[in-house]
């Protein structure tokens, strides 16, 4: 299936980052290497950490709590619960990392702010790419775990790039917005940390959406993370196609968020040097 998604972002925005692709690649490489600089295993930790977390989830929820994921009258085997939980946390961790890092991103690099020619707008993109690379390791672990535990492999795994798309657009838009706002409001980091925790519990990560009382269903209609989390599970674990109507709607909405966030950043960055 070939889908042309070039209409989602303005040409000027796409050209801006395409012309700076070498800079973005270099900054992303530096971002990933700095996380584990000085450690003996280096980038190997990007595999070890999610693997250990998946093993812990499997032990606690499958062997200790014997938790089951219930959808209607169907319950999954206990061992599958950890995979379902991990699949839900994978996109959420990308979102939370970008937002939490963005609030102090610009104020943490005053030297770059004072260089008028330096494109500060690439940094939220760099943070996002680094988070996606880490999440792809989680995706591989989920597929391997599904193969070992459930003895099956999702036949819709090829749709995972489309499942990532609204997550990327949403994270980018809010990342640009928060990184700009964080320059002017220094308490923003604490506020965002609280909001991210609230979003974790109002998104269907620890529980299926079907268990939510009907009076609170509206939360899932206005929470893009709910649709994103569900789409990851559909294509990674359950071999289901995306809910196309929902996917198209949220992709369009998050594209608008991305454009608005970028526009806000480009307008407000002119005052960064005066504040910092």
pLDDT of res. 60: 80
Most confident of 11-15, 41-45, 112-116, 267-271: 267-271
As a whole number of angstroms, the longest Cα–Cα distance in the chain is 60
The model carries a pTM of: 0.88
Higher pLDDT, 68 or 198: 198
Question: What is the length of the chain?
Answer: 276
What is the per-residue pLDDT across 7-20, written as a single tens digit (0 to 9) for each? 556 666 766 788 88
DSSP state of 242: P
Q: How far apart are CA 123 and CA 28, in angstroms?
A: 9
**What's the pLDDT score for residue 195?**
94
Q: Mind spelling out the 3-state secondary structure of 226-262?
A: HHHHHHHHHHHCCCCCCCHHHHHHHHHHHHHHHHHHH
Distance (Å, rounded) from C-alpha 120 to C-alpha 264? 13
What percentage of the chain reaches a pLDDT higher than 70?
A: 89
Predicted local confidence at residue 9, as pLDDT: 60
Which stretch of DSSP H or E encloses residue 70? strand 70-71
Q: What is the number of alpha carbons within 13 Å of residue 273 lying toward its C-beta? A: 10
Which two structure tokens, joined as six digits, stand for 251? 């992709």
DSSP assigned state of 153: -
Q: Residue 93 above 90 pLDDT?
A: yes
Beta bridge partners of 272: none
The reported pLDDT for the residue numbered 1 is 46
Residue 38 falls in which region: left (phi positive, over 0), alpha (psi -120 to 50) or beta: left
CB atoms within 10 A of CB 177: 22
> What's residue 98's pLDDT?
96
pLDDT in tens, 34-87: 877 766 666 777 788 888 888 887 788 777 777 777 665 666 766 788 889 899
Dihedral angle over CA of 111, 116, 120, 122, nearest 10 = -120
Q: Which two tokens stand for residue 119?
A: 């494109």
Contacts of 177 (CB under 8 A, 6+ apart): 260, 261, 264, 265
Pull the structure tokens for residue 173. 């838009």
Q: Is 71 helix (H, G, I), strand (E, B) or coil?
A: strand
Could you tell me where the DSSP H helices lie in 104-204? 110-113, 122-149, 160-184, 188-202
The pLDDT of residue 275 is 80
Interval 227-261: pLDDT, tens:
999 999 999 998 999 999 999 999 999 999 999 99
């Amino acid at each position: 299936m070939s889908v042309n998604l070039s209409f989602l972002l303005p040409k000027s925005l796409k050209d801006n980052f395409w012309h700076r692709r070498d800079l973005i690649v270099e900054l992303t490489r530096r971002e990933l290497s700095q996380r584990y600089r000085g450690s003996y295993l280096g980038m190997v930790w990007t595999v070890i950490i999610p693997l250990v977390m998946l093993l812990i989830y499997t032990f606690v929820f499958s062997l200790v709590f014997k938790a089951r994921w219930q959808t209607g009258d169907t319950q999954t085997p206990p061992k599958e619960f950890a995979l379902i939980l991990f699949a839900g946390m994978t996109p959420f961790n990308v979102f939370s990392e970008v937002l939490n890092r963005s609030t102090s991103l610009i104020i943490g690099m005053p030297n770059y702010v004072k260089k008028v020619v330096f494109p500060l707008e690439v940094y939220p993109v760099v943070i996002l790419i680094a988070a996606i690379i880490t999440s792809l390791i989680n995706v591989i672990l989920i597929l391997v775990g599904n193969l070992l535990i459930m003895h099956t492999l999702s036949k819709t795994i090829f749709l995972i790039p489309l499942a990532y798309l609204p997550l990327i657009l949403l994270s980018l838009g809010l990342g640009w917005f928060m990184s700009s706002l964080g320059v002017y409001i220094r308490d923003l980091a604490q506020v965002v940390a609280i909001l991210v925790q609230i979003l974790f519990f109002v998104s269907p990560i620890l529980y299926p959406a079907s268990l939510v009382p009907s009076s609170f269903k509206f939360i899932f209609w206005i929470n893009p993370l709910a649709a994103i989390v569900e789409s990851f599970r559909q294509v990674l674990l359950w071999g289901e196609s995306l809910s196309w109507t929902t996917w198209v709607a949220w992709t369009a909405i998050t594209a608008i968020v991305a454009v608005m966030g970028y526009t806000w950043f480009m307008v407000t960055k002119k005052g960064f040097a005066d504040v910092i």
